[in-house]
Structure 1
Amino acid sequence: MHQSLKGREIILYAKTLAPTLGKKERSIAHFIENNPDVISTMRINEVSKFLKVSIASITKVSKKLGCSGFHELKNSISEISASDQDSLQQDFHISSRYEDILERTFLNSILALQESLTLINSEVFNQVALLLINFNENNKIILAGCGGSRSICDDFHHKLLKIGIFSNVYYDSHMQQMSASLMKPGDILFAVSHSGKTADVINMLKTARENGADTVSITNYFNSPVTQVSDYAIISSVKNNPITGENASTRIVHLNILDALFTILANERGQKSQDSLQKTRDSVQSKRI
């Protein structure tokens, strides 16, 4: 690639180039494509640490995108205007055929899952899994989320209950903060926030952490405020969808992250999980017609 590219052109070319690259270089290209507003403020070592790739690989991809190196890449991306960033999202064209929209919606979710699988830090994910496995049931698990993220917390709360683990989800902001103020070492606060900027969630994380509880955040943006007040941050970093909402694709990914953690925990608990699953199934059998 010898042609000099600028701003928006780099993002579009990264999208085109990504499928032709190896796994690590592909994750770099996807990250550049999906996070132009974030990457323009990052240092190369921060990208390297987050993606678990070498600085040399980042430099190599930068050159493939027509830049002399990462410094030129981030400077070019920083020139993208807000209107240009919005136009980058306008690739979900409305079709008159409803089945086309159905197919495109499914494909966008599949793509989000595939991209996230290459981007999620497996070391952090494993640490969170061990945190759950070693959790003492005399302690508390509190789930925190607002808006669309609240439904993700509800789903995880439901799954944990099926295997005999009690957790709490609070919807009122006062009760959220009160519950965080009573957390102690051994307790776990799981916070889900697409933007990573929700004030109520951030305040809960701060308070719980100050009290010695373990804090976990699941978000879509590297270096967002929730990651700064979490002991463990699982970051999906997937592209937003302009039609189905700001966090539509991310919601699918976050549900799958928690499903994976639930599956690991259920397997590790062995017969205890099986017994609880049977009891909870039997308890609602009379509700079925």
Structure 2
Amino acid sequence: MITFEERIESKKKSLTATEEKIIIQLKSHEKPFLLSMNELAFLSEVSEPSVVRLYKKLGYSSYQELKVALAQELAEMKPSSSQAIDIAPSDSVDVVFEKIGDQFFQAMSLTKDQLQIDQVELAVKRMQQSKRLYFFGQGLSGTVAEDGAHKFMRLGGMTLSVKDPHYQAIYASHMNDGDMVIAISHSGETIDIINVCELAKQSGAFVLVITSNQMATLAQCADICLITQAHETSRQSDAMISRLVQLALLDTLYTRVASEAGGIGKTNINRSRLAVTRMKK
């Protein structure tokens, strides 16, 4: 694969002064893959179209592709950079807490850049239209699915969280076009989740998948696939950070659906709050 440096070298003679300013900023910034196009243009003191012309000249199909390439290359070339937010045995509690925050911030930034806004809005629309919402997940992803269902049930309507694969299969076999499955799997390769999502689609349900790999088997059977990103460190898997990002993404979907529900949604949310409040002393 041609690296960022190799692409620059091959186009060296045709680079303009404006493009060289952008390249300097990308090379000097500690985490260039976290910069939005607007931020990069501002720091380089150039226009956004200039950034577009540069990444196209270097052979990237999009700004996102450029950022992903930079993130991958920096991870390989500068292992100390990724180790900066790795948790060491000698770290005190406050340092551990801060590093977890840094990991979450990085994962949120990477996920934001991966999100296709039109797909998120389509997911919101389908959630509004569906008669029943089923949140499927297994293991740790099942916990995230349960949290998602807990949010959406406050809006009223039929919302279920199902973690047992046998129950998932039974529900999936009886679905129709009024149903929507929100399947959560970090790897996207959990066999049972793949099987029940395929069964749900055969029954006519709409399937939304939240995973970390757009090439995963589960992603291929989705009507909509939303990707979350999180880096794995040497002492801590990306599973925890990934769960936090998944929760944030579900919160985003819930907030949009609640906003679109208007007065009825607000009434149902208040009714749900009151029902819970009555159970407290």
Shorter-chain TM range is: 0.7 to 0.9
1:88-167 alignment runs, 5 A limit: 90-91=83-84, 92-94=86-88, 95-135=90-130, 139-167=131-159
1:2-17 alignment runs, 5 A limit: 16=30
- What is the Cα deviation at residue 89 of structure 1? 6.1
Q: Which of 189, 192, 196 matches 2:188?
A: 196
The aligned residue for residue 44 of structure 2 is none
Q: Which of 246, 266, 270 matches 1:274?
A: 266
- What is the Cα deviation at residue 175 of structure 1? 1.1
Relative to the length of structure 1, the TM-score reads: 0.71
CA distance in structure 2 between the partners assigned to 1:201 and 1:14 by the alignment: 43
Given that 2:34 and 2:109 are in contact with CA atoms closer than 8 Å, whether structure 1 keeps it comes out as no
Change (3 A) 1:256 1:20: closer
- What is the Cα deviation at residue 277 of structure 1? 1.7
The aligned residue for residue 57 of structure 1 is 55
Given that 1:196 and 1:219 are in contact with CA atoms closer than 8 Å, whether structure 2 keeps it comes out as yes
Relative to the length of structure 2, the TM-score reads: 0.72
Change (3 A) 1:202 1:89: farther
Counterpart AA for 1:115: L
- What is the Cα deviation at residue 194 of structure 1? 0.6
Structure 2 gaps of 5+ residues are: 8-26, 41-50, 61-65
Deviations 1:118-169 (A, max 9, x none): 111112111111111222xxx3211110111111111111111112132112
Change (3 A) 1:209 1:18: same
Structure 1 gaps of 5+ residues are: 5-12, 27-52, 63-69
Given that 2:87 and 2:236 are in contact with CA atoms closer than 8 Å, whether structure 1 keeps it comes out as no
Q: Which of 275, 280, 286 matches 2:278?
A: 286
Q: Which of 205, 217, 220 matches 2:197?
A: 205
Given that 1:89 and 1:240 are in contact with CA atoms closer than 8 Å, whether structure 2 keeps it comes out as no
Of structures 1 and 2, the larger Rg is shown by 2
Q: Which of 211, 222, 247 matches 1:255?
A: 247
Deviations 1:58-84 (A, max 9, x none): 77277xxxxxxx9xx8xx98xx8xxx9
What SS does the corresponding residue of 1:287 show, helix, strand or coil?
A: coil
Counterpart AA for 1:227: A
CA RMSD of superposed structures (Å): 3.5
Deviations 1:161-210 (A, max 9, x none): 11213211222221111111111112101100111111111111101111
Number of residue pairs matched? 238
What SS does the corresponding residue of 2:187 show, helix, strand or coil?
A: coil
